[in-house]
Amino acid sequence: MKPATLEFVKQRFTEYYQRQNVIAPPSLEQREWGFVFFHTGTDARMRRHMAFMDPRELVVYVKSLVPAHVYYSTAYYQTPSAPTMSEKHWAGADLIFDLDADQIVRGPYAMMLARVKEETEKLVEMLIDELGFSSNHIRIAFSGARGYHIHLTDIAVRGWGSPERREVIDYVCGIGLDPGVMLAPRAPPTGWRRRYAGALRDHLAWLAGLSPAEAMAYIDGFDGIGKRTGKEFLASLDSVRTSDPGALLQNRVVQAILTSPGFEERIRDAGARADEPVTTDIKRLIRAPGSLHGGSGMRVVPLDIRDLADFDPLVDAVVFGERAVRVDLKMNVTTSLLGRTYTLRAGTTDVPEALAVFLCCRNVAEIAGGA
């Protein structure tokens, strides 16, 4: 950012923090905090290994120094302000899931946000209906940019290490599923068995929709499947698609399909696309609800499960107003904000303040006339 742009954004953040507070998490005194501050260079370092004993102390710190990003530890420590991790003395951690639209789909911002919300709703349903966690222990937060964080605060999981957390994220994402278990005869079609069988039906339907040449080329890509076997399989594809899932396990072509990259991607779509390293990390820092995201200018919004369906981040996470601000756009931009879609061309133009903050934080605009 140019100095004038940096000053503009920092002033807006200052105004926000004068009227709103960062939300202190439970067991505040056991949490490590980290902050990234506004800067003009490229070396954005985090100031971490900090702790606050009282919510008022945290509020005063944020209001005084106005950080661009605010993080706290998902872990609990005996001495959170200790300068090394070993000296902090880990005492447990919440179970965290991070869903980021960048890792799911690419496209218009509004479309990406809608897609990641679908994944978040899917994950919450799996945690409650399939893994048995209580909704009372689930906290959700819009990340302030392109995704959602799910905090599972059940004390029963607090002492879990990375291996136990890995089992949960593997289940959620559908990693390491055994086809023999998923398609076992007479097994109840619930949870992943239902999703797995549905994914296989969808994949076979996709194959049936290809032209004969395309379908044969797809089968030819499997090792150990000859042309004769491939032709016989495609000729019987209609009956294969209606077969009992357990019987399909005996089919050599189906066996090849189940280990193919295309089917594995279909399984990932059937699961919830959460970020695996975040969940397995027992010492993670995560964005503090109530803070602003320095890469978007939007608020990290805490949400109840019942509020997620109606939540629109491009309206509900926007905290700045509509007074006109003149900016210099570095490129053509189309984006949605505050219920409107803006199509802007590179150059100087007037935009609402909320959009100006967003564009400047995204580094696609500078304040016009600034040095």
DSSP string, 290-319: TPBPTTT--B-EEE-HHHHTT--HHHHT--
DSSP 3-state assignment of 367? strand
Q: Is-catalytic flag, 350?
A: no
Q: Which of 43, 54, 98, 310 is catalytic?
A: 98
- Cβ proximity of 35 and 292 under 8 Å: no
Q: Is-catalytic flag, 98?
A: yes
Q: How far apart are CA 69 and CA 46, in angstroms?
A: 9
- Cβ proximity of 224 and 234 under 8 Å: no
Neighbours of 73 (CB within 10 A): 24
- Cβ proximity of 148 and 99 under 8 Å: yes
Residue tagged 């005084």 (tokens): 64
Token pair for 29? 């005194």
Q: How far apart are CA 80 and CA 97, in angstroms?
A: 22
CB under 8 Å to 356, separation ≥6 — which residues?
8, 325, 327, 365, 367
DSSP 3-state assignment of 126? helix
Token pair for 276? 């695996």
Q: What is each CA distance from 333 to 2, 104, 107, 208, 364, in whole angstroms?
A: 20, 22, 13, 40, 8
Residues of 107-118 as b/e, b for ≥16 C-beta within 10 angstroms? eebbebbbbbbe
Dihedral sign, CA of 124, 130, 135, 139? negative
Q: Which of 43, 54, 94, 100 is catalytic?
A: 100
Q: How far apart are CA 356 and CA 350, in angstroms?
A: 9
Q: Is-catalytic flag, 43?
A: no
Q: Which of 275, 281, 310, 350 is catalytic?
A: 275
Backbone torsions φ then ψ of 238, nearest 5 degrees: -60, -45
Residue tagged 């899917």 (tokens): 122
Active-site residue numbers? Answer: 98, 100, 275
